Amino acid sequence: MKSASTYRARQPDRHGLIEYPDEENQTWQRLMERQLPILPGRACPEYLDGLERLQLPVDRIPQLPEINRVLERCSGWQVSPVPALISFDKFFELLANQRFPVATFIRRADEIDYLQEPDIYHEIFGHCPMLTHPRFAEFTQTYGRLGAKANPQQRAFLARLYWLTVEFGLIRTDDGIRIYGGGILSSHAETLYCLEQPKPDPEARPIHQDFDLQTVLRTPYRIDILQPIYFVINNLDTLWQLARRNLLDDVAKAQQRGLLAPLFEPVKAS
């Protein structure tokens, strides 16, 4: 995680409520009105069901107690307000205790299309609908428990698993491939891009690849580009079954095999 942030999270009052200024509520509304129309036919049914359960307001940033009432009823989870940036230790601790971290700030208008660090829109709109699904929520909690006891080298491999599933995962449905990753679903550009039909040219992007745990653990990624590859699970049972494995044994195997060649250009030095 970055060592500094240009954003500052807003502190809730003793009732857990935050009074957001009008311009920040307007940013939320702009994001919602842009994203909601493109979800049908792209987002997976489990996400859309969760979105329906949450009943997120369009014209204002939701309050965390509103989210907690739904999550606790559906899966036993809650959201926890955090500063703009938290340590990996804190991140894993929260997940292990069924608490999803939410930084209580929203992006500025000049960063409406892309924000390097997660804001309240990304966390609430992108991730919370899937956390209403018990099996997805169980996988997320197990991931937190594993991360809490992993060493820094193991965490780097676990980060690839999280990135390529929870953040940027795709899933097969009876109606075709759909999105379940919160990093995609909170991004207008990536929601449109990730389901483009792969071209016959093997160099074309995006690539859809069947989920394979070892491949995922060994696949490098960059956070500041549209992803060159998306891994597709057959159903959410895939993640539920992962939660029952000793994933650190899988990480050890991936460490021995080493990383795959990246499918992107290296970051240019400034």
Give the residue among 163, 141, 144, 170 at the shortest CA–CA distance from 216: 163
For residue 4, tell me if it sits in a domain. no
Residue 202 has pLDDT above 70, yes or no: no
The number of distinct structural domains making up the chain is 1
Please give the pLDDT value at position 261. 96
244 phi and psi, to 5 degrees?
A: -105, 5
For 207, the enclosing helix (H) or strand (E) is strand 207-210
Residue 54 has pLDDT above 50, yes or no: yes
173 phi and psi, to 5 degrees?
A: -135, 175
For residue 196, tell me if it sits in a domain. yes
For residue 17, tell me if it sits in a domain. no
Predicted model pTM:
0.94
For residue 212, tell me if it sits in a domain. yes
Residue 106 to residues 50, 62, 227, 255, Cα–Cα distance (Å): 22, 11, 23, 37
In this structure, are strands 99-103 and 78-82 parallel, antiparallel, or unpaired?
Answer: parallel
Residue 121 has pLDDT above 60, yes or no: yes
For residue 5, tell me if it sits in a domain. no
208 is in an annotated binding site: no
Question: Which residues are CB-neighbours of 254 under 8 A, at least 6 positions away?
Answer: 157, 214, 217, 218
Please give the pLDDT value at position 2. 45
Q: What angle do CA 220, 152, 94 make, to 5 degrees?
A: 95
For residue 153, tell me if it sits in a domain. yes
Q: How far apart are CA 150 and CA 195, in angstroms?
A: 34
Host domain of residue 238: 22-255
- Radius of gyration (Cα) for the chain, nearest Å? 18
**What is the domain-level CATH number for residue 182?**
1.10.800.10
Residue 91 to residues 60, 63, 97, 102, 164, Cα–Cα distance (Å): 26, 21, 10, 10, 17
Instruction: Give the tokens for residue 37.
Output: 């129309």
Looking at every residue in the chain, the average pLDDT score rounds to 94
What residues are paired with 176 via a beta bridge?
173
Question: Which residues are CB-neighbours of 52 under 8 A, at least 6 positions away?
Answer: none
Helical packing angle, 134-149 and 152-162, nearest 10°: 160
CA max distance for the chain: 57
User: Considering the chain, what percentage of its residues have pLDDT values greater than 70?
Assistant: 94
188 is in an annotated binding site: no
Q: How far apart are CA 17 and CA 65, in angstroms?
A: 7
Q: How far apart are CA 18 and CA 268, in angstroms?
A: 40
Helical packing angle, 134-149 and 64-75, nearest 10°: 100
pLDDT tens track for 25-45: 999 999 999 999 999 999 999
Instruction: Give the tokens for residue 193.
Output: 């891009």
Q: How far apart are CA 63 and CA 127, in angstroms?
A: 15
For residue 79, tell me if it sits in a domain. yes
For residue 7, tell me if it sits in a domain. no
Banded model confidence at residue 6, pLDDT cuts 50, 70, 90: confident
